[in-house]
Structure 1
Amino acid sequence: MAEGGVGTCPQVFVVDRQASYISQPSGKVSRWTRVSQKFLLLLVGLTLLGLVVEGCFIYRLYKKTEEFSLCRYHPLCQNLSHPQISGQQGGAIIRQVGPKESNEIPTVPPHLDQVQQKPFAHLIGFTDRIVDKVVVWVDDVTHSMVYDGHGRLSVEKEGYYYLYSKLTLNAAEECSVIQHKVMKDTNAYNNVPIMLMRSKSYRCHTQTRSKASGGQDLWNSFLAGIFHLRSKDKIYVTLENITEIRPGPADNFMGAFMISPGNILLPTL
């Protein structure tokens, strides 16, 4: 530099080493973000569409189920749901739903016919006679069973039977043990009497009950149960230690009816 000359100012550069640098995202990262967002929106749309389609299928299934539940009680729907008997019942059903009436008698369904063929018997009344403690009945209604007229009912078909008996009694003036039994004689045990059911009660005549019932001290005894009976078995009712039975078909009776044939085993308790 010359003395007296004009000197130039020196240039000073300051470097800030603590300055932060913000990196700008590149163009490739921005494009990937946009693609991801579009793919996510597409998945959400497909999910909503699947829910709508599933809801439509569920609604159609519900309507079909509702229509079937209302239709199953109609005779025509029952015929279509049971094709094995449609040939037997089809004619009767068509006549019922058709516009024209017919004078033909509809056929009885097979299961009802089988029920009518099962044996049964109902013995009613009391004849004021007890032969060897066996109650003799006034009248009888039987089917595939035989009443001998002396209190014994014979079984013709083997099977499981529901037996029942009711007696209306007038207690004796003295105290006594009253026994109402349902018995069976079978060839399997050389016709030795077998007790199936029994009602045993100690009764005494009381003036209070006698006045309340019009001079009688009445007492009812009812027995019922299911038993296996063989062909030629005989069932009957016995009564011990009683002086009087109140007469009447509604007060005294005995009966039996088959609930299943002998080749079907009932569950054991």
Structure 2
Amino acid sequence: MQSGVMAEGGVGTCPQVFVVDSQANYDSVTGGKKPRWSRVGQKFLLLLIGLTMLGLVVEGCLIYNLYKKTESLCQNVSNPQTSWQKGGTILSQEQPKESNDIPSVRPYTEQDQKRPFAQLIGSKNPAGENNVVQWIHRGGEAVTYNMGYNNGRLLVNKDGYYYLYSKVTINAAENCLLIQHKVMKETQAYGKPIELMKSKSFRCPKSSSEMTTEVGEDLWNSFLSGIFQLQSGDQIFVTLEDIQKIRPGTTENLMGAFMISP
């Protein structure tokens, strides 16, 4: 808008003109944008944090599974009978019925506790008639359970498969000696003893000058063991050729049997 003033008595001068625009806009000064590398760094940092959290979750799951397996193993070791029975039940339920299946393990029962067994130890006077070795059947480490003993013979009272074993110690220092260690069986089905196991060895002193009655000991051990089917009424005994050469003692000579299956 323009305005003018006339001075009296003269030509009017041109006044200064000021224009005010009331519609002008005043924008606030905005900050510049963040650099691109800063935005990328933030995203990469968030990605690393996410991967770290995922790794912690996976590690926690693995530790939990390992803890469960360890706990189950400890329970099996602390209670083998229960785990055995459970394992046999699971196997019998899950196995497909095929001809080549592996049978489940039979659990231990109270009937197994009644299986006969015996251990005889060497006597101070082990030489018996017909070279039958005599034993101690009661006291110390000697024991008989559901089996009998008579004159060096172990008496079988129940049919089944038995593990038999025998150990003898011989002193072969005085002269050359043929040693024959046998485990024998007498049964009602045969009229004479049956040979179950035998060990045969020929022993001599180291030199002929040692073949005197004053030499020391030259000990020789023989051990026999095996599994045999026995019947009620059978008699098991040990014979030793030249039985006078046996070295007496409770630890030098042993005989035993125990049923492994009916």
Give TM-score, length-normalised by structure 1.
Answer: 0.56
Paired residue total: 184
* 2: CA distance, partners of 1:210 / 1:71: 66
Q: For residues 260 and 243 of structure 1, do their structure 2 counterparts lie closer, same or farther at Cα, with a shift above 3 Å needed?
A: same
Give the 5 Å matches for 1:157-168. 157-168=158-169
* Distance verdict in 2 for CA 1:70–1:229, change over 3 Å: same
- C-alpha distance in 2, partners of 1:194/1:64? 62
For residue 111 of structure 1, report the CA deviation from its aligned partner: 2.8
SS where residue 232 of structure 1 aligns?
A: coil
CA distance in 1, matches of 2:134, 2:237: 9
Tell me: CA distance 1:114–1:69, structure 2 relative to 1, closer, same or farther (3 Å). Answer: farther
Aligned pairs for 1:1-269 (under 5 A) are 65-75=65-75, 111=108, 113-126=110-123, 127-140=125-138, 141-148=143-150, 150-171=151-172, 173-187=174-188, 189-206=189-206, 215-261=216-262
Distance in 2, matches of 1:239 and 1:167, equals 9
* Aligned-partner Cα distance in 2 for 1:83–1:250: 38
The answer to whether the 8 Å contact 1:210/1:217 transfers is no
Q: CA deviation at 1:253?
A: 1.1
User: Could you tell me how far 1:138 is from its partner in structure 2?
Assistant: 2.7
Aligned partners of 1:111 and 1:84: how far apart in 2?
A: 8
Letter in 1 for 2:229: H
Once the two structures are TM-superposed, the CA of residue 167 in structure 1 deviates from its matched residue by: 0.6
CA shift, 1:204, in A, is 1.8
Work out whether residues 179 and 199 of structure 1, in 8 Å CA contact, stay in contact via their aligned partners in 2: yes
- Distance in 1, matches of 2:149 and 2:160, equals 18
CA contact (8 A) 1:181 1:195 kept: yes
Amino acid at match of 2:253: N
CA contact (8 A) 2:135 2:152 kept: yes
Distance 1:249 1:158 in 2: 29
3-state SS of 2:223 partner: strand
Counterpart residue type for residue 195 of structure 1: E
Q: Give SS of 1:216's match.
A: coil
Give the alignment's Cα RMSD to 1 decimal: 3.9
Residue type of the partner of 2:257? A
Distance in 2 of aligned mates of 1:209 and 1:62: 73
Identity rate, percent: 49
Rg larger in structure: 2
Offset at 1:132? Answer: 1.0
CA contact (8 A) 2:137 2:144 kept: no
For residue 175 of structure 1, report the CA deviation from its aligned partner.
Answer: 2.2
1:266 equivalent in structure 2: none
Change (3 A) 1:118 1:84: closer
Unaligned runs of 5+ in 2: 1-54, 87-106
| Cα shift at 1:85 | 7.8
User: What are the Cα deviations for residues 213-243 of structure 1, in whole angstroms up to 9, with x where unaligned?
Assistant: x711211111111111111111100011343
Counterpart for residue 43 of structure 1: none
Alpha-carbon separation, structure 2, partners of 1:191 and 1:238: 18
How far off is 1:151 after superposition?
0.7
Kept in 1, the 8 Å contact 2:127–2:243? The answer is no
Q: What is the CA-CA distance between 1:202 and the residue it aligns to?
A: 0.8
- Distance in 2, Cα, partners of 1:209 & 1:135: 28
TM-score of the superposition, structure 2-length normalised? 0.57
